[in-house]
Chains A and B, each alone.
Chain A
Amino acid sequence: MYAVNYHKPASIEDAVAAIGGADEAKILAGGQTLLPTMKQHLAAPSDVVDIRGIGGMTDIAVRGDTVTIGAAATHAAVAGSNEVGSICPALAALAAGIGDPAVRHMGTIGGSIANNDPAADYPAGLLGLGATIVTNQREIAADDFFTGMFSTALEDGEIITAVSVSKPDRAGYAKFRNPASRYAMVGVFVAKTGNGVRVAVTGAGEDGVFRHAGLEAALAGNWSPDAVDAVEMSADGLMSDIHASADYRAHLIKVMAKRAVAAAG
């Protein structure tokens, strides 16, 4: 790893100042993605600004039928949170299925969605739930936030502070793990909400997480695993790699969609 300056501000203001004062700053949360890339010399920020000490960043709170999760809440905290469980058990279950215990106790929800790895789990959950991403500057709808593989609507230096999720009628997530990395090779999050059915697919798309209109339409008509059978599934725009061809991924999207609906009940 290259030499780097480390900051741990206690407030958003100090964090913004630290970012502004550096040559090239990177926000640091759990470090589960950023630090390995720095060790491999693939990233070389002059400064890292650890946002985990900022007040409120790890809070999880319910107001009405909405849960707000601090950006620095770890996957383990979300997985074990009664608050998250009371609004959306499927999201807690998704968090419980990320990586391994060490990763879950370090990695954060904010870090995961800021990174927007095309095989990450949270992007499917938040897009599927139509969540709102709160930053130090604004609120961004999940539909606008995930803009492609490893890219988001975040501006340079913009800090995610929280994510808020409203209670769905039903929701479920099914993940087919990549045998090696155990990220999602295909993950499908389904949610039935007041605003209709949403289906988000991760691990499969060449442009990262995406909503699947065909599945949404089928499930809106008939919320049952069987409804998935009739959906036309194209492999266009799906990834192909040594672990799975686009065709196999297309097939898995259907299987995982069925299982997600079954899990949602």
Chain B
Amino acid sequence: MSEGIGAAVKRKEDKRFITGRGKYTDDIRMENQAYGAFVRSPHAHAEIKGIDTSAAEAMDGVIAVLNGKQLKDDAIGDIITGWAIHSKDGNPMNVGAWNPMATARVRHVGEPVAIVIAESQAQARLAAEAVEVDYEELPAVAAATTALEDGAPLLHDNVPGNLIFDWEIGDEAAADAGLAGASHVTELDIVNNRLAPNAIEPRSAIAVYNDIDDHYTLYTTSQNPHVARLVLSAFYNVAPEHKLRVIAPDVGGGFGSKIYIYPEEITCLWASMKTGRSVKWTSDRSEAFMTDAHARDHVTKARMGFDADGKIVGLKVNTVANIGAYASLFATATPTYLYGTLLSGQYNIANVYCDVKAVHTNTVPVDAYRGAGRPEATYVMERLMETAAREMGMDPAELRRRNFITEFPHQTPVIMTYDAGDFHALLEKGQAAADVAGFAARKSEAASRGKLRGIGYSCYIEACGIAPSKAVGSLGAGVGLWESAEVRVNPVGTIEILTGSHAHGQGHETTFAQVVSDRFGLPMDNITIVHGDTDKVQMGMGTYGSRSGAVGMNAIVKAMDKVEAKVKKIAAHTLEASEDDIVIEDGEVKVAGTDKKMAWHEVGLAAYTAHNLPDGMEPGLKEGAFYDPTNFTFPSGTYICEVEVDPETGVVEIVQFTAADDFGTVINPMIVEGQVHGGVTQGIGQALLENVVYDEDGQLITGSYMDYCMPRADDVPSYVLEHSTTVAPSNPLGVKGCGEAGAIGSPPAVINAITDAIGNNNLTMPATPQKVWAAIQEVGLPQAAE
């Protein structure tokens, strides 16, 4: 059927998005709405000696000025991190306490200290400027490696040496032994640059307190409204769950940054109760740069050993991860279980060891962002592989081929059990699509134009669909990571799907409907997806880690199984046939091999009129399910990047980018293509353009688009996309996930291509023209270009 699984159906939601009729949090206006503006720390580290709000309180339109101490006095809880990590010595991690508004000390630029509530946004902002905070500045530290040094400024009394944990995975002795016996060891110092998420829609919240019912409603830019409600209730003491409704309406991009429940949302809820007014706050772009959780920021030393045949015999990775001033929700999971567990890559490696030191610094919290840990792991693996191939004088594709895992399931030494994949097929498809054979000719043609052309590979594997609840629980997760769904068939046969997954650009309203359409043979137009409201959908864990397909859609499948069973019972009863003979096809419920049938909507009607149901059957046609995955899913791919470098200026042009991906079953190839385009563009952004810079005193240098460089359309080429599919065995749909792969796989391909072009491997991300030019100066021009 043309709208089912595998059809490139146009996105249902785009009509409202493209015509400007989406409804985002900031578009919503409440009747008695007031506005919040935060007073934020200009310092990276300082004691708060006093806060004088008298001038602000006297200003026009000001309703209240509230501070962190009042919030604490009302027993609003500290912000939590959701994953308890243990150090290798067995000790639990040490994280600093995070007050929603600072009470005694500020630890990063932009940290909220007070909130002004006023009649208009302009009044609130003006009054916020008039709040006088008496700070006593303290020495600050922004780089994680510096924060670990003796004598570095300390952020939290309970975190000695700023060290949150020193975690390990794998067998160190085995890795050391492997390296000791290696005939070649490749060693790299790697920096994974710090990024700012930059969703188009900035964060926003409207908190509505109703004193009659003692009930709160929060409209907010969330990727997971139920998780928001859970932590706001269970940890932040805002209100018990049944008295708190969280609505995440249309949300304009998240990339991870809208998973977390930030100080601002908590404060608005509390301020609404304090003032009896609805309180709206919408971040501006400057606030977003200072307060949205940043990403990556790893410093790594990696060593990979090979035997004489180029087989990997050992890998040892030591990483320092910057967590920022406070540990955000997934901050401790991202550089550990989402990173160290992927350090086997696509390769059969017996001995892998990784050690991660997580560190507090005077910077905004760092947390999961498109890829979350897997881009960092892939960058380590794929830079090592390319570098090793060059050092050993081997073709980088051949080196990978010799090490590919070919049998599944495959147990890596770092927890993961890969269940399916065909890495040889991906590499072949990628090479063919990229016309690798013609590269030499293209390189010499480029040289005739004075350009240095280079090619680079990245063969990534990542883990999506986080994750079996029992497994993550045993590894320290505070929650289970299932998903829930409800399938409501109306008496007229139309269907509402309630899902705990949240869409903020992914196209769920289309793909989820396709899965249902495919199952029952109904037109998509008869199917509506409901999400993003805790009063409508009972429970959900939300959207991140490419889990909406692998987990969310499979919850729908499970609920549909139940619906189907009931439909068959009703039809069998009505048509006087055996349940086993009932088939559902093209919107009809038929007795196989006969012309006896009911239209789909007739079954719906029968269920609700209940005039003639089997004895003992409940009326109605509505089923819910919770789906708990049995494994991660493992998308994989080969990315091949070709660049041309202008040796005079260091400018890099990506002239060709090929992505061959294995996402398992593809529900909608057009949407998948869009996800790859976006992901690869973000990865190219990291590789060439994006970089958060703090100076040594913790001042944010890249606080606007004048200095923080986002990829633009003309920075990227038209992509060449290929697929090679192995179905995911762990879930009924066979899907793996495609939301993050592009951002995970692409950065090393880009850097491998540039370093190939310039003949100098000493290059860090982002490879700005200045850095590339300097790298060329360091080694001189490659022969071909002279």
Could you tell me which A residues sit within 8 Å of B by CB distance?
A: 1-3, 40-41, 176, 179-181, 242-245, 248, 251-252, 255
Contact = CB atoms under 8 A, between A and B. Distances in A.
A40 B701 CA distance: 16
B293 to A, nearest CB: 21
B773 A251 contact: yes
A243 B126 contact: no
26 contacts: A1-B122, A2-B126, A3-B122, A40-B286, A41-B125, A176-B649, A179-B689, A179-B709, A179-B768, A179-B769, A180-B689, A180-B705, A180-B706, A180-B708, A180-B710, A181-B705, A181-B706, A181-B707, A242-B693, A242-B702, A243-B768, A243-B770, A248-B770, A248-B774, A251-B773, A255-B648
A253 B709 CA distance: 22
Nearest to B705: A180
A27 to B, nearest CB: 23
Contacts of B701: 242
Given A1-B122, A179-B689, A248-B773, A242 B707 contact: yes
A126 B774 CA distance: 32
Contacts of A243: 707, 768, 770
Interface in B741-786: 768-770, 773-774
B770 A245 contact: yes
Interface residues of B, number: 23
Closest 9 CB pairs of A and B: A180-B709, A181-B706, A179-B709, A248-B770, A255-B648, A244-B770, A242-B693, A180-B707, A255-B649
Nearest to B771: A248
A119 to B, nearest CB: 9
A142 B394 CA distance: 60
A137 to B, nearest CB: 33
Interface in B702-734: 702, 705-710
A243 B689 CA distance: 10
Given A180-B708, A243-B768, A244-B770, A41 B129 contact: yes
Nearest to B766: A179
A41 B702 CA distance: 19
Contacts of B125: 41
B108 to A, nearest CB: 19
Contacts of B770: 243-245, 248
A198 B710 CA distance: 35
Nearest to A176: B649
Given A2-B122, A252-B649, 18 more contacts: A3-B122, A40-B286, A176-B649, A179-B768, A180-B689, A180-B706, A180-B707, A180-B709, A181-B706, A242-B691, A242-B693, A242-B701, A242-B707, A243-B768, A243-B770, A248-B770, A248-B773, A251-B773
A252 B770 CA distance: 10
B198 to A, nearest CB: 12
A37 B160 CA distance: 42
Contacts of A2: 122, 126
A181 B705 CA distance: 6
A256 to B, nearest CB: 9
A243 B649 CA distance: 13
A184 to B, nearest CB: 13
Contacts of A255: 648-649
Nearest to B649: A255
A243 B770 CA distance: 7
A1 B125 CA distance: 9
Contacts of A252: 649
B294 to A, nearest CB: 16
A104 to B, nearest CB: 16
Nearest to A1: B122
B453 to A, nearest CB: 20
A193 B701 CA distance: 42
A179 B648 CA distance: 16
A240 B762 CA distance: 22
A3 B220 CA distance: 29
Contacts of A179: 689, 709, 768-769
Nearest to A251: B773
Interface string B100-134: 00000000000000000000001001100100000
Nearest to A41: B129
Contacts of A245: 770
A41 B770 CA distance: 33
Contacts of A176: 649, 769
B695 to A, nearest CB: 9
Contacts of A248: 770, 773-774
A242 B769 CA distance: 12
From B701, B706, B774, name the one whose CB has the most chain A CB atoms within 10 angstroms: B706
A21 B125 CA distance: 28
From A2, A40, A180, A255, name the one whose CB has the most chain B CB atoms within 10 angstroms: A180
A218 B768 CA distance: 31
Contacts of A180: 689, 705-710
A243 B768 CA distance: 8
Nearest to B709: A180
Nearest to A254: B648
Nearest to B715: A179
Nearest to A258: B648
A244 B774 CA distance: 11
A1 B121 CA distance: 10
From A40, A176, A179, A244, name the one whose CB has the most chain B CB atoms within 10 angstroms: A179
Contacts of B709: 179-180
Nearest to B695: A242
B195 to A, nearest CB: 14
B131 to A, nearest CB: 14
A41 B127 CA distance: 13
Nearest to B129: A41
A204 to B, nearest CB: 13
Contacts of A3: 122
A245 B707 CA distance: 14
A262 to B, nearest CB: 12
A156 to B, nearest CB: 26
A250 to B, nearest CB: 12
B770 to A, nearest CB: 5
Nearest to B651: A176
Nearest to B650: A248
Contacts of B129: 41
A252 B772 CA distance: 13
B143 to A, nearest CB: 15
A57 B286 CA distance: 35
A244 B286 CA distance: 23
B479 to A, nearest CB: 38
Interface in B60-104: none
A205 to B, nearest CB: 18
Interface in B667-720: 689, 691, 693, 701-702, 705-710
